[in-house]
Structure 1
Amino acid sequence: MAFQQKNRYDLKDLRRIIEILRAPGGCPWDRAQDHHSIRNDFIEETYEAVEAIDREDSTLLREELGDVLFQVLFHCQLEQEAGRFSFDDIVDGVAKKMIVRHPHVFGTVKVSSMSQLLQNWDAIKEKTKKQTSQTEVLRSVSPALPSLMRAAKIQKKAQKAGYPPEQPPQKAVSRQEAGELLLQAVRTVHAAGLEPEQVLQEATESYIDSFSQWEAAQTLQKPTSEDRK
């Protein structure tokens, strides 16, 4: 396929490169891939970009963000070939989402504090995702996240909704002590012949189930309009 090499390329060029790689006569490996076969590559490239951020290495970050962008465009190309959506659809969708979620910037909403801003963000997100309960909010946290990250995010959302901790912490711990507690938990789980990642995912699902029961009980306790008469 015709492709003009340049000293500097832009987004249009990168999209064209991926089209060529996927086209008949392109790269056999790229043509053989689908969403699932390169799923872990997407995860790996994302973590490498995060590593560059942690190292505050701008040169490395530039490279790794390029790899992440390539993954995004590659997945997009697969969908475009299938006739489901295009890169322009992705851009349109995320642009509209950001405009809707920032009414204090693109609309007439006024906010007086960061907490109010975040409350508005959560309310808009729940409305656009058609979430009618906090249990749905918790279940929307991606199961594909690392189990510890997911557990922490879900617990934070649950406690924000008023869910009391099952076992309140007895005392404050230092950063080092917290790390040792986590390491001890991993050792304990391994000693039992279990996989920590899977065990925590299962425990998190049970936590969501318990939250769901608690939320249902809270809803039943709320007075109805008939009760107020």
Structure 2
Amino acid sequence: MSDKEQHFNFKDLLDIMTKLRGEGGCPWDREQTHESLRQYMLEESYEVVDAINHKHDDELKEELGDVLLQVVFHAQIAAEQNRFTIQDVIDNICRKMISRHTHIFGDDTADTVAQVLDNWERIKSDEKGFDTHTERMKAIPSILPALMRSYKVQKKAAAVGFDWDDVKDAISKVDEELQEFKDVYLSENYGKIVEELGDLLFAIVNVARFLDIQPELALNEATEKFIKRFEYIENSAKGAGKRLEDMSLKEMDELWEQAKL
């Protein structure tokens, strides 16, 4: 049987990780810590999202495996230190899924997605011992991308009615914050410039939330669009025997407009 035809199970993965981390195992794997692995968990998670965006099953299958490896890796390190095991991880997530789906495993009722989410947040708050809405906001990890974190914070505020009545009001706030940024961006007060730019970005995220658009995804799409149009400019310049560095901004702008067609 070839390597590709051989089938493995979860225990095989655990055994492989134990061997890699054990006496005589891989030098790199043996020296890793929770802290040294942080970057890989982030990278692998983003690569999963990228595979989803590309709608590529083989890529998604591979990247999900990489994330699973990170989970097993962290659990193995903790087990070696007698802190917790992979079984504890599995037990915890199973208990969480059961406890937060009381409409399936309990006596609650939830016929709509909104009701499910309300139940989830209520149960989560009870589990975490949150007494205030501010505590719920502070519990949103600061390590999240800033656009995503601000979106989640705003949703917490909106859940208790601290929100605009209409998206037009949110757009007016963007106009207001843009003007305030224009008032200071040429000043020498760097701190104020940063503050007003932050307020402007926060207001734009609020508009995205109103329209049920994830700003992180919207910005990524805009970045991809920019890259494609820039590629058109560069390829067109090469076709004309020119270097971008030698072209004027006006010439590049003309190609940019062509790329939009």
Instruction: Read off the aligned partner of 2:170 and give its amino acid letter.
Output: P
Q: What is the percentage of aligned positions where both structures have the same residue?
A: 40
Q: Partners in 1 of 2:190 and 2:54 — Cα distance?
A: 35
Match of 2:92 in 1: 93
**Could you report, residue by residue, the CA deviation over 1:116-139 in whole angstroms, capped at 9, with x for unpaired residues?**
222111111100111111101101
Q: Which residue of 1 aligns with 2:125?
A: 126
Map 1:43-58 to 2 at 5 A: 43-58=42-57
* CA 1:49–1:126: 2 relative to 1, 3 Å: same
C-alpha distance 131-172 of structure 1, shift in aligned 2 (>3 A): closer
Equivalent residue number for residue 23 of structure 2: 24
- How many pairs were matched up? 184
Distance of 2:116 and 2:26 partners within structure 1: 48
* Separation in structure 1 between the aligned mates of residue 34 and residue 16 of structure 2, nearest angstrom: 18
1:193-208 alignment, distance < 5 Å: none
Query: Shift of the alpha carbon at 1:171?
Result: 5.2
Give the superposition deviation at 1:172: 11
Matched, 1:157 2:191: no
Q: What residue in structure 2 maps to residue 169 of structure 1?
A: 170
In structure 2, the partner of 1:138 is 137
2:58 match: 59
User: Comparing both structures, which one devotes a greater share of its residues to helix?
Assistant: 2
CA displacement 1:176-227 (0-9 Å, x = unmatched): xxxxx9xx99xx7xxx978x8xx859x98xxxxxxxxxxxxxxxxxxxxxxx
Instruction: State the distance in 2 between where 1:31 and 1:88 align.
Output: 21
Amino acid at match of 1:46: S
Q: Which whole-Å CA distance do the structure 2 matches of 1:163 and 1:172 have between them?
A: 14
Contact 1:148 1:200 in 2 (8 A): no
TM-score using structure 2 length: 0.63
Q: 1:10 to 1:112 in 2, by over 3 A?
A: closer
**SS of residue matched to 1:169:** helix
Unaligned runs of at least 5 residues, structure 2: 203-261
- Aligned residue in 1 for 2:13: 14
Deviation at 1:158, TM superposition (A): 1.0
Query: Which segments of 5 or more consecutive residues in structure 1 lack a partner in the other structure?
Result: 174-180, 205-229
Task: Tell me the SS of whatever aligns to 2:36.
Answer: coil
CA-to-partner distance for each residue in 1:75-107, whole Å, 9 max, x for gaps? 010100010000000111110111010011111
Residue number in structure 2 paired with 1:42? 41
1:177 alignment counterpart: none
Q: After the TM superposition, which parts of structure 1 deviate over 4 Å for at least 4 consecutive aligned residues?
A: none
Give the Cα–Cα distance (whole angstroms) in 2 for the partners of residues 123 and 151 of structure 1. 21
2:21 is equivalent to residue 33 of structure 1 = no
Whole-angstrom CA distance in 2 between matches of 1:71 and 1:119: 31
**CA radius of gyration, larger in:** 2
Tell me the C-alpha RMSD between the 2 structures: 3.2
Query: Helix, strand or coil: the match of 2:116?
Result: helix
Once residues 98 and 140 of structure 2 are traced to their aligned partners in structure 1, the CA distance between those partners, rounded to angstroms, is 22
TM-score, normalised by the number of residues in structure 1: 0.71
